[in-house]
A and B are shown apart, each in its own frame.
Chain A
């Protein structure tokens, strides 16, 4: 079998080389290096912080410091790792459909794909550096043989998280392909959110405390994040020098990871043997569709975009994943905020979530045309203005982004005291205000650097590295701009400056967006020769 795996590895290497040497390949390569160069110092900085926290925790041995530090570190790492992997990782190794034709056991192919998720993924370097920081902090605090067990625990955490992401992607891909499941889940989420938001809005203290009383019961939800939960269980014992008590947690991690890996493989194989995204069973129940009451020249474009977005696996996954991740933040971070922290500080997680929602959906606004594939031809064949095409994409994506933000805000609002009216207004102003800035720049990136994106969210990166780098710059610049009102609000002790300042910035963004649209529409028309072969997949 070794001889069969060798050509498979060669195919992967050659494809990577072609990607780097064909049109835009050099720029992509430079962007990947730049991302790595940016990621490493950032990783080292975070690693130092994690190391310092771990040092303190190991020195204290047990108690609140150990509990908080270990939970924050590993649940935080698990959360960011999962979120980034879902949008950025190029995990072609897990695409079994391509390899079923070869006389190689699919299990070996899948295992190789998982291994590249740990060892061969540039993004994994970042997490490796962070875990290195944890290990270094612990080693400095208490050198000894116990560090071998800690190293094993950290390694298993990495393996478990990679497997977790794979399992999550495979299951979501399978389950969310069912229209009925998707729509019922969506309706349920919206009803639940509206109900809770209504409770929050009415602000009745009794209702509020009753609602919050449900939170401890939700602690069992930590097992949904089992890579972090097992690791926290193990490191708590290791930090307090109870190595023997850590063994069951380590063993549990290994067993659950093995079972999860087996399950992920089984689901992947099932999907591959059923034709994957093009298979007859997936999405077969399209029905006649539901009419959307859009009128005017934008109507059909808005309707198409709306339907496309709601059938998009990345969008569907975001609607479930972002609220789930927000729940973890609410559960672990909000209670850790000092009781005497000001209102602005207490509202920061909500504001962070507003920006985070844009980050999660970035591959939809940085590669807006990449999902059209062959359909992109119609956008140039039909008598429609390129500006209308971009507006329809942006408007629909913003509406969806707002829905995801609203769903995700619910657990955050539940975890703390009812937020003041200014904080809710500010969060909405921030989310809305950032959008025109991001979308105006994102349209430009989408036109100049498109990539044919697969609808199977668990396959392939949906963003080229260069666009990822551009997205990093765009989000950083926009975040820096929107941080100015925070400084002003803190300096003047006037929280209402936040909604006001962000509204002004949002209106300025809208002006920029409107000014940018006509030249972007012209650019879209001019770029069609280069864009269509890439987006339609003829050049992929």
Chain B
């Protein structure tokens, strides 16, 4: 059973293909990492699969339904954290979660209860009453994830969920996602630039380059004997020369920085206490 199945999915912008004849196969229950360099077509693909963008050509079936015909039914069963997020910045975090849940068909008490639970799980309880405009980027990402989960989706689309957030937040989100997939009821389709994190998370990988799928399969099939990063660079890397030396940057007062004594917190040395 496939959670996502596309055939010749294409999107043209000004007659140029951003996504070109994509044939994706995402098994149900998979944690699918969709990788590619900047401008490869990852976000365009997610936008087409979630209904934000119309395909120019091709078909897409999501959770067994034809996306073009059963758009509303598909939307009700998926959760999305789009690139750029989809948050109403003049709502508080709690309001956003609850209203989001209600828009996906939950009744008000259920949505309110789940909103509270999600805030706690995402470590945002203390900030639930603040307007979203006052959230940091990492907090917004976490809240967007909460929104995508509140109605209990069967398929989760995450577009660059780790971009611009700190290592602690990345670890928290990663743990939560791993827990969700391990339970076996959720399929995750994720794009990311952080290959190390992706490699530790995903079960399946697809690599897109210049709008075309250049590799697809289980993690082990795709990376073969090397690491995912090595495979990725081999498939999409181009001969790039390093930046030219900008001699004028060092022209004024160039000198080595003075040595600085390291500062280590007492308890970080292992014998604090």
Contacts and interface: CB of A to CB of B under 8 A. Distances in A.
B58 interface: no
A383 B73 contact: yes
A209 B87 CA distance: 52
A289 B94 CA distance: 8
Contacts of B133: 277-278, 282-283
Interface in B116-140: 128-131, 133-134
Contacts of B85: 374, 377
B52 A532 contact: yes
A385 B105 CA distance: 12
A304 interface: yes
A375 B86 contact: yes
A288 B75 contact: no
B92 A287 contact: yes
A107 B52 CA distance: 44
A284 B131 contact: yes
Given A287-B129, A300-B99, A529-B54, A383 B91 contact: no
A381 interface: yes
Interface stretch (B76-84, B161-169, B194-202, B213-221): B76-84
B91 A380 contact: no
Contacts of B263: none
B237 interface: no
Interface residues of B, number: 36
Residue of A287, A311, A377, A536 with most partner-chain B CB within 10 A: A377
A374 B51 contact: no
A36 to B, nearest CB: 32
Given A374-B85, A378-B100, A528-B53, A307 B131 contact: no
Given A278-B133, A381-B51, A372 B88 contact: yes
Contacts of B134: 280, 282-284, 286
Contacts of B108: 299
B103 A377 contact: no
A382 B88 contact: no
Contact of B52 (A304, A380, A384): A380
B230 interface: no
B44 to A, nearest CB: 11
A92 interface: no
A340 to B, nearest CB: 51
B20 interface: no
B92 A286 contact: yes
B88 A284 contact: no
A486 to B, nearest CB: 40
B72 interface: yes
B187 interface: no
B229 interface: no
A376 to B, nearest CB: 8
B104 interface: yes
A174 B90 CA distance: 16
B95 A308 contact: no
A381 B95 contact: no
A455 B129 CA distance: 20
Interface in A355-408: 372-378, 380-385
Interface in A281-318: 282-289, 299-301, 303-304, 307-308, 311-312
A372 B89 CA distance: 8
A536 B88 contact: no
Nearest to A380: B52
Interface of A: 277-278, 280, 282-289, 299-301, 303-304, 307-308, 311-312, 372-378, 380-385, 455, 528-529, 532, 536, 538
User: What 4 A-B pairs come out closest when comparing CB atoms?
Assistant: A300-B102, A377-B86, A286-B92, A375-B88
11 contacts: A282-B134, A284-B131, A301-B103, A304-B99, A311-B131, A374-B85, A375-B86, A375-B87, A378-B100, A382-B103, A384-B103
Interface of B: 50-54, 72-73, 75-76, 80, 82, 84-92, 94-95, 99-100, 102-105, 108, 128-131, 133-134, 147
Given A378-B147, A382-B100, A529-B54, 12 more contacts: A285-B129, A286-B91, A286-B129, A287-B129, A288-B94, A300-B103, A303-B99, A307-B90, A378-B86, A383-B104, A455-B90, A528-B54
